[in-house]
Amino acid sequence: MKALRFNGDVLVTGANSMEYLKKIKYNKAFIVTGGQSMFKSGVINKVKEYLGNDEERIFVYSGIGKNPTTEEVKKGIESIKKFEPDLVVAVGGGSPIDAAKIIALIYEYPELNVETLTKSILPEKRYKTKFVAIPSTSGTASEVTNVSVLTYEDINLKLGIKSPSLRPDIAILDGNIPMTLPYNIAAETGMDALTHAIEAYINKTSDDFTEVLAKGAIEGLIEWLPISCNNKDIESRQKVHNYQSMAGMAFSNSGLGMVHGISHAFGGKYNLAHGLTNAIILPYAMKYNSRDKEVFKKFEKLSTAVGFNIIEKVESLNKELGIAGCIKDAGISEEDFNRDYDLLVENSMCGSTVANPIKIDIEVMKKLVKTVYNGTEIDY
């Protein structure tokens, strides 16, 4: 028996779908967002407008970075406790949505501690707030998942926190919002989504439902991501927005793999963008995992579907989108890498690496970490 859940109560999609906010009844709304992009683009003002523009009933907590930290979340918890809302609206990339998940959870369950969330048994539901997620980037699919990723600065590591109570109640996929994404962010977040879809598709716990969602997302992203980056038109941006959410629905049920384990190690240490590190690591992990017979067969199916060898296609897509070929080319110096190597290896063994189709031991990980940093061939 397997219990599957693909999103919260409602998923609203399409251009101008943010107007759905007008239908939500609330007493006080707590909006969580990142830096300035959602203000400059006018999205925050739109959210306020659709919620009624009542300043006494709306509070905006901003400043969540690209890799949300425990300190940013703690400050948000302090603010939400003072404001006492019954509606939480997360607007922006995966980072503010992930942060808002934890802020809303601990607001309702103050006995929980941010530092010990990864080791705690978390509540199954929230009752105090309605939670709306409005993504501005097309990658993390945090709007439909039961996962939040936080950076624990004391250990230089990004850790995933899982619970059904973290899944937003309402997801709004408004294609107008990612229209403002610059080329590199659209490319990196899109490759993040492709990583989610591929790792979900080859995961050993994948099932009929997640396989179809993941495979559909892979085919859709390979076709529409380059168009979205280059043309920046509403059709392609909405398509990528939808496909990335499908990838999230798949991986939140099936799990991921070592791309995310290694990515979180590098991202947590060097504050690299998550989509960028995933994109860099993905083809190396695909090559290594293809030695598994089941994975190899699935890659053959994907190759037939897209008309190219799927691993070569991912590599060429990275090049086409201007993604660095290795972590070194992303700006991490050899001095820093050599100094931090043992920590990176240790941290890469954590998180989603344990769910990789091929079990990875420490000796193999030592080689993999060097491979993705230097961009060398996998010959082991």
Q: What is the CATH number for 36?
A: 3.40.50.1970
Average pLDDT in the chain: 96
pTM over 0.85: yes
Summarize pLDDT for 218-262 with one digit per residue, the tens: 999 999 999 999 999 999 999 999 999 999 999 999 999 999 999
- Do 222 and 113 reside in the same domain of the chain? no
**Residue 56: predicted pLDDT:** 94
Residue-level pLDDT at 259: 98
| Boundary of a domain, candidates 177, 195, 213 | 177
Same domain for 355 and 274, yes or no, is yes
Same domain, 283 and 157: no
CB contact set of 302 (below 8 Å; sequence gap of 6+): 201, 215, 218, 219, 310
Residue 260 within a domain: yes
CA distance 20 to 4: 26
DSSP state of 69: B
Domain tally, the chain: 2
**Do 116 and 43 have their domain in common?**
yes
Same domain, 170 and 253: no
Q: How many CB atoms lie within 10 A of CB 162?
A: 16
Residues 234 and 266 reside in one and the same domain: yes
Residue pair 103/77 in contact (Cβ under 8 Å)? The answer is: yes
| Cβ–Cβ < 8 Å for 126, 105 | yes
- Residue 223 CA to residue 228 CA, distance in Å, equals 9
Q: pLDDT tens for residues 23-57?
A: 999 999 999 999 889 999 999 999 999 999 998 99
pLDDT, residue 120, reads: 87
The CATH number given to whatever domain includes residue 249 is 1.20.1090.10
> Does a structural domain hold residue 44?
yes
Cβ pair 95, 136 in contact under 8 A: no
Is the domain of 156 the same as that of 236?
no
Measured between alpha carbons, how far is 272 from 264 in angstroms, rounded to an integer?
9
Phi, psi of 353 (to 5 degrees): -60, -30
Q: Is the pLDDT of residue 317 over 80?
A: yes
Same domain, 167 and 91: yes
* β-bridge pairing 157-162 and 147-152: antiparallel
The packing angle between helices 293-306 and 208-231, to 10°, is 50
CA–CA separation, 373 and 284 (whole Å) = 11
Spell out the alpha helix ranges (H) of the chain. 37-40, 43-50, 70-83, 94-108, 183-202, 208-231, 234-254, 258-270, 274-289, 293-306, 310-321, 334-348, 362-374
Q: Choose the final residue of a domain: 177, 201, 216.
A: 177
127 within domain boundaries: yes
The mean per-residue pLDDT over the stretch 162-174 comes to 96
Banded model confidence at residue 156, pLDDT cuts 50, 70, 90: confident
Same domain, 74 and 208: no
Structure-token pair, residue 188 = 């990196």
pLDDT tens readout for residues 48-97: 999 999 989 999 999 998 888 889 999 999 999 999 999 999 999 999 99
Pair 62, 79: CB distance under 8 Å: no
- Backbone torsions φ then ψ of 117, nearest 5 degrees: -60, -35
Residue corresponding to tokens 């420490």 = 362
Q: Considering the domain boundaries, does residue 349 fall inside one?
A: yes
DSSP class of residue 300 equals H
Domain of 45? 10-177
Which of 124, 147, 177 finishes a domain? 177
pLDDT, residue 194, reads 98
Residues 224 and 163 in one domain: no
- The answer to whether residue 4 is domain-embedded is no
Residue 218 within a domain: yes
**Is residue 3 situated within a structural domain?**
no
pLDDT given at position 155: 80
Cα–Cα distance, 121 to 354 (Å, whole number): 20
Least Cα distance to 243 among 270, 268, 215, 207 occurs for 215
Angstrom distance (rounded) from CA 4 to CA 249: 10
How far CA 322 is from CA of 104, 113, 154, 270, 272, in Å, comes to 37, 40, 33, 20, 16
- The string of pLDDT tens digits covering residues 114-137 is 988 988 889 999 999 999 999 999
| 70-97: b (≥16 Cβ within 10 Å) or e | bebbbbbbebbeeeebebbbbbbbbbbb
55/92 same-domain check: yes
CA gap 280, 276 in Å, rounded: 6
What's the CA gap between 171 and 133, in Å, rounded? 5
Nearest to 353 by CA among 250, 266, 248, 247: 266
Q: What is the mean pLDDT of residues 363-376?
A: 98
pLDDT at site 71: 92
In a domain, 131, yes or no: yes
Q: Please, are residues 191 and 321 in contact by the beta-carbon 8 Å criterion?
A: yes
Q: Edge to edge, what strands does the sheet with 87-92 contain?
A: 10-13, 170-173, 130-135, 87-92, 29-32, 58-61
85 and 152 together in one domain: yes
For the chain, the first-to-last Cα distance in angstroms comes to 38
Q: Is the pLDDT reported for residue 361 higher than 90?
A: yes
